[in-house]
Structure 1
Amino acid sequence: MRTTLTPAALALAFTALAPAQAQTVIDHANGYTLTAAGTLQRFTSLAFDAQGKVVVAGSEAQTAAALPGAKHVDAQGKTLLPGLIDAHGHVFGLGEIASGVDLFTPTSLPAALRAVADFARAHPKNAWIIGNGWNQEAWKLGRFPTAADLDAVVSDRPVLLRRVDVHATWLNSTALAMAGITKDTPDPAGGKIERDAKGNPTGVLVDSAMALADKVVPLPTPAQARAMLDNALALLAKSGLTSVHDAGISVAEDGIYRDYADHGKLTTRVYAMIADTGAAFDELSKDGPLASYANDTYALAAVKLFSDGALGSRGAALIAPYSDMPSTRGLLFQQNAAMQAKMDKAMKAGYQVNVHAIGDAGNHQILDAYAQLIPKYNAGALRHRIEHAQVVTPEDIPRFKTLGIIPSMQPTHATSDQNMAEQRVGHERIKGAYAWRTFLDQGSRIACGSDFPVEPPDPFEGLHAAVTRQNAAGAPAGGWYKNQAMTLDEALRCFTLDAAYAARQENLIGSLEPGKWADFILIDRDIFTAPPEQLGKTVVLQTWMGGKRVYKKGG
């Protein structure tokens, strides 16, 4: 439902904040925002005060009469939306990609190997060749790539390449040797070393086995980590993202975030999750959850855990065997008691618990744990989440609503996975996969994101996928399981208000209501009148956070 703000409503909104003098008025805008109830409303002028908080959104005449002397900025009729929020991403990972081998682009194994070889030649001083983005499914390889494949192009240095879903790594023989991985190395709990018929490692590590190699890769220097964050922040602002939820950070990354926040260098708000409940949690949780820091630019009030792996690498834990590989059901990272102990530790300390769960067995395990722990700590107000909630049994979907669990989902995962998802789980289980409409119809509030850098951070690609159930190329015709699509109003809400709700920040951001931060974007088209197939082509012209412009196309 869409409405236009009435004069009475505008007067009421302004009266409530009358003492605050607006510093800036954006005029001649084609503005859309949501109310707290999720109703879409129109406006042509946005006013915000010297602190960067919204005073009123209405007409030019109303803001001009109420706010004489304010600085006026002409939006030239461009569409203005609330700043978009990505509820699940990996900020430093996004920044790292710019400094490694790009394997998102190659469409075949030979093309990927050429990219690795070219990068190695161009970076002779790199001790390790690191890359991201390979996908054997997209290459139609019919198998995992191998160390032997890599050895043919780089054998003098270790090579470590992360799969597109970041749930498998591909190594050359030098990297395998440096990690000490041999025929006698056992598979770790929750992980797998891919092997040949004789039991020798072939070069791919799945899920927790990746740690065997990660531990010998040098950590980025402080300067490199800051460069990663700079790269990521620039990309996020360009994408129109004024807030992101960083799904798993370290002690060092927390320190960098706080320093950037202290110095006004965070051009995107960050709601961070501590990675696991080990040593990093013990260090970062000493003073309890950090709900807000530096004018709400940073928060550290959640924990990120893993139940299982990913569907593409068959690491997602399924109740029944994989349809295309009956010899496996995937991997639970922890047995039930150990998983529940991690969740208990975080919840007891007052943290929101956000657990990665892809397969129906992984989702079931976490829902069972929430059913035990939320009543134990009376912790429903923390709005615990399941990250991804990709394949869920029909019996478990209603439990999200009953338990108050937020499904944190990524629309582009469905359109990227359509080439293999049904092969993995079959025709019946796919009915509970990427089931946005089923969740929405039962009253669940979906928090949308991208899982960048697994997917591009562009939220308009996510809006396009949510509405059309098609990939960027428009496939398949008519949409993939279109019955699970969202309306555009719903999709906008899951990238704004409901993403904010999932971080308990709906009173701060997510819409352009009086008293909230003036986080907004100007874009090149009216997404509510443009054809749905053009949603993903939307270009961000300007991004504003807290009443300050942090990005302008062209400089």
Structure 2
Amino acid sequence: MKTTLYVAERVRTLDAARPVAQALAVRGDKVLAVGSRAEVRAAAGPEAREVDLGAATLVPGLVDAHAHLAGLGLSLTTARLEGAASVQEVVRRLEAAPDTCFQGNWLLGKGWDQNAWPGQAFPGRAELDARFASTPVCLTRVDHHASWVNGEALRRAGITRETVDPEGGLIVRDAAGEPTGVLIDNAMDLVTAVLPEPTDAQRETRLRVALERCARVGLTGVHDAGMDRESFQTLRAWDEAGQLPLRVYAMAAGQGAQRHAYLEQGPHEGRLLTMRGVKLLADGALGSRGAALHEPYSDDAAQRGLLLLSPQELEARVRAFMARGFQVCIHAIGDRANTLVVEVLLQCAEETGTRGLRHRVEHAQILRREDIQRLGAAGLVASVQPTHATSDMGWAEARLGRERLAGAYAWRSLKDAGACLALGSDFPIENPDVLAGLYAARTRQDAAGQPEGGWWAHERLTAEEALEGFTVGPAWASFAEGRRGRLMPGMDADFVALSVDPVEGAARALLDARVLATVVAGVEVFRA
């Protein structure tokens, strides 16, 4: 087996016995040695290839613990609406969209956010109809919990003023009862049901560009939160052929009809592809007021959000997947959803004897203080996304009021309560840039350094805790703590070379830092 010696200014191992080293040797797909340059050269032998990374810092492989590969690929190949400051700007971007933004004859886009527009009101179909009268248009909100469509898309989906809101969904209507073109949560399915299927070539292209982006930003692995069967079969074929560049820990899509096939199949363990979890959704998102709250929204007293599955149906699905040996991972944003999810996970895990399956609360975003303690005491995984806090902090208090923010984005409180923190980005809702996640976890500030001192600064993580959240935490949350998360002899050779030290370096340095190399199972999948 080939041996490679990597030399850097420092190797940050996260091994308590030797936290900092100067060099690392890889033989095959495992770490052979970690230590001083002399020690590692001696272990590697005279035939080893040597790579001098200069002033770089090597860290264990960075893993995004909650992300969506197919969604990232779609967002990179359809009309990009992130950062659009108005409805008019959205329309201008759609007018300039290339042919790759079409699926069949539907024009697709992703990333609009009415919170960034004057008035912060939901858009309507009229603005789209004026430019796209006969072309169906479907635009996904930045949080993936709302769609904005035009009149032709409504017509093809058969949505009229007489259409009843589906359970767990909302068709936004004007004062006369006519659909405006905005569909919340389960109401989105009315349109996606008539959307043409992507071609096999489109699916493969989207997955490849997503994986390439991940390697470029320094990710050695991704926990895919709700993988569809088609993506799973494609990645499985690539893994078996030795063509999968990153580790993918997949959660089966447990919300729709595909769950039956996953239940029949059971968990899967490949070389770089594992499917051991299942993803369910309890509620919607805060930005579209779909997050399920105990009390009404502070800025809309008529809304308390949506439960996407009834408590009875959620419990039935949780119990079925636990009995089949799956780790259950449930999306919960609002405090009502989190109360429900913690109760269901604890009750069903006790009944099925599966507490050892390390069940997870995905997002764990807004919780009552008692639920933070219950989640932590039970040893559940809190899969949280630091950049959600820094993206939402400009409007979250308007949605929730000051009192509920005390249990929102509460990473320090969750960790102190005993939860395992696994950090991610929820890309493509946020950028997959893991360095931005490290910065947000440490500072709770935006790129301009605001607010001064950090937003609810007592919930910040230390620099080492942030790094552990993207390494040790995801490893434990995917049952891989004996193989990954630290750089020690015998561990998998997954690591990243960065231009800054993410622990001792200044937090602001992360904003301009560069990924110099990404190594997965001993293979360089990216080199700057």
TM-score range, shorter chain: over 0.9
Q: Does 1:300 align with 2:275?
A: yes
What does residue 452 of structure 1 align with?
427
> With structure 1 as the length reference, what TM-score do the two structures score?
0.92
* Most deviating of 390-399 and 110-119: 110-119
Looking at structure 2, the residues matched to 449 and 198 of structure 1 have their Cα atoms a distance apart, in angstroms, of 42
What does residue 448 of structure 2 align with?
473
* Alignment CA distance shift 1:124-1:303 (3 Å): closer
Aligned counterparts, 1:157-306, within 5 A: 157-276=135-254, 279-290=257-268, 292-294=269-271, 297-306=272-281
SS of 1:457 mapped into structure 2: coil
Segments of structure 1 that go 5 or more residues without pairing to the other structure are 1-20
Q: CA deviation at 1:139?
A: 1.5
Q: CA deviation at 1:22?
A: 7.0
Q: Does 1:337 align with 2:315?
A: no
Looking at structure 2, the residues matched to 148 and 312 of structure 1 have their Cα atoms a distance apart, in angstroms, of 22
* Most deviating of 476-485 and 491-500: 476-485
Q: Does 1:409 align with 2:384?
A: yes
Q: Contact 1:116/1:153 (CA < 8 Å) preserved in 2? A: no
Q: CA deviation at 1:31?
A: 1.1
- 1:96-142 per-residue CA deviation (whole Å, 9 max, x = no partner) reads 11221100031222211211122179979961110100000011333
Q: Contact 2:8/2:57 (CA < 8 Å) preserved in 1? A: no
What does residue 13 of structure 1 align with?
none
Looking at structure 1, the residues matched to 410 and 177 of structure 2 have their Cα atoms a distance apart, in angstroms, of 39
Q: CA deviation at 1:232?
A: 0.4
What does residue 360 of structure 1 align with?
335
What does residue 461 of structure 1 align with?
436
- 1:441-479 per-residue CA deviation (whole Å, 9 max, x = no partner) reads 222221000000000001110000000101223222221
Give the alignment partner of residue 31 of structure 1, picking from 11, 20, 39. 11
Aligned counterparts, 1:90-101, within 5 A: 90-101=68-79
- 1:130-176 per-residue CA deviation (whole Å, 9 max, x = no partner) reads 01000000113331011011112222200000000000000011111
Looking at structure 1, the residues matched to 192 and 119 of structure 2 have their Cα atoms a distance apart, in angstroms, of 25
What does residue 60 of structure 1 align with?
37
Q: CA deviation at 1:288?
A: 2.3
Aligned counterparts, 1:515-534, within 5 A: 515-534=490-509
* Alignment CA distance shift 1:367-1:265 (3 Å): same
SS of 1:235 mapped into structure 2: helix
Percent identity at matched positions?
Answer: 43
What does residue 56 of structure 2 align with?
78
SS of 1:345 mapped into structure 2: helix
Which one-letter code corresponds to 2:3 in the other structure? Q
Q: Contact 2:139/2:148 (CA < 8 Å) preserved in 1? A: yes
Looking at structure 2, the residues matched to 124 and 293 of structure 1 have their Cα atoms a distance apart, in angstroms, of 34
What does residue 14 of structure 1 align with?
none
What does residue 323 of structure 2 align with?
348
What does residue 391 of structure 1 align with?
366
- 1:9-41 per-residue CA deviation (whole Å, 9 max, x = no partner) reads xxxxxxxxxxxx771111244210112x6x781
Which one-letter code corresponds to 2:301 in the other structure? P
Q: Give the number of equivalent residue pairs.
A: 527
Aligned counterparts, 1:401-440, within 5 A: 401-440=376-415
SS of 1:541 mapped into structure 2: strand
Q: Contact 2:283/2:332 (CA < 8 Å) preserved in 1? A: yes
* Alignment CA distance shift 1:366-1:125 (3 Å): closer
Looking at structure 1, the residues matched to 322 and 118 of structure 2 have their Cα atoms a distance apart, in angstroms, of 43
* Most deviating of 137-146 and 220-229: 137-146
Which one-letter code corresponds to 1:354 in the other structure? C
* Most deviating of 457-466 and 112-121: 112-121
Looking at structure 2, the residues matched to 65 and 359 of structure 1 have their Cα atoms a distance apart, in angstroms, of 55
Which one-letter code corresponds to 1:454 in the other structure? I
Which one-letter code corresponds to 1:57 in the other structure? V
Which one-letter code corresponds to 1:128 in the other structure? W
Looking at structure 1, the residues matched to 61 and 395 of structure 2 have their Cα atoms a distance apart, in angstroms, of 33
Give the alignment partner of residue 508 of structure 1, picking from 479, 483, 493. 483
What does residue 7 of structure 1 align with?
none
What does residue 92 of structure 2 align with?
114
Looking at structure 1, the residues matched to 474 and 500 of structure 2 have their Cα atoms a distance apart, in angstroms, of 23
SS of 1:286 mapped into structure 2: helix
Q: Does 1:154 align with 2:132?
A: yes
Q: Contact 1:103/1:115 (CA < 8 Å) preserved in 2? A: yes
Q: CA deviation at 1:287?
A: 4.1
Looking at structure 2, the residues matched to 182 and 546 of structure 1 have their Cα atoms a distance apart, in angstroms, of 53
* Most deviating of 275-284 and 84-93: 275-284
Looking at structure 2, the residues matched to 471 and 479 of structure 1 have their Cα atoms a distance apart, in angstroms, of 9
What does residue 16 of structure 1 align with?
none
Q: Contact 2:286/2:334 (CA < 8 Å) preserved in 1? A: yes
Give the alignment partner of residue 465 of structure 2, picking from 482, 490, 494. 490
Looking at structure 1, the residues matched to 499 and 417 of structure 2 have their Cα atoms a distance apart, in angstroms, of 35
Looking at structure 2, the residues matched to 287 and 120 of structure 1 have their Cα atoms a distance apart, in angstroms, of 39
| CA-based RMSD | 1.7
Which one-letter code corresponds to 2:232 in the other structure? D
Looking at structure 1, the residues matched to 246 and 142 of structure 2 have their Cα atoms a distance apart, in angstroms, of 24
* Alignment CA distance shift 1:93-1:277 (3 Å): closer
Q: CA deviation at 1:310?
A: 0.2
